[in-house]
Structure 1
């Protein structure tokens, strides 16, 4: 909810960072899987060039699937962000944030 209150440009950057951080573990797992498969196939330690092509192919396929799913959900369809319900901070939200801040300060100082 907090990200949605930010301006649109900051929201787009935060979405890009979120996607990048979620893709990084998948990328590392893909490298490990490709290296293991190539080692089992020929018994030699695979070179970087022999890993790069399958990794690029898998990454492009994954990014195409992500783009299709984002497009089917309507992401980036219009310049303005749409909302089902408008979101605004209320006095309850501010009081909760203030009490959480006070509580965290008290825990830090004790």
Structure 2
């Protein structure tokens, strides 16, 4: 089962301890074969909406910058519970903020 985990921009300034802990967590997930991809996301982005056959393109996918997804991890795990546990561990390292876990369907 694959899950996409996204995290919001917390506004906190990362320090060396955070980088070291996150690096160790990423190395662990990579060694276990769980981590498929990870990366940061551009905060601005583009929003494309359709309604009644009309397509509207606007700058920025979020109403407020604090809602913007700042990064992601794509993981492959055995269960939803395992994905949630990884997200819990991530939040424990990253600190205050919000992460969203969604199952990825298809190939």
Question: What is the TM-score normalised by the length of structure 1?
Answer: 0.24
More helix by share: 1
More strand by share: 2
Of structures 1 and 2, the one with the larger relative CO (CA 8 A, separation 6+) is 2
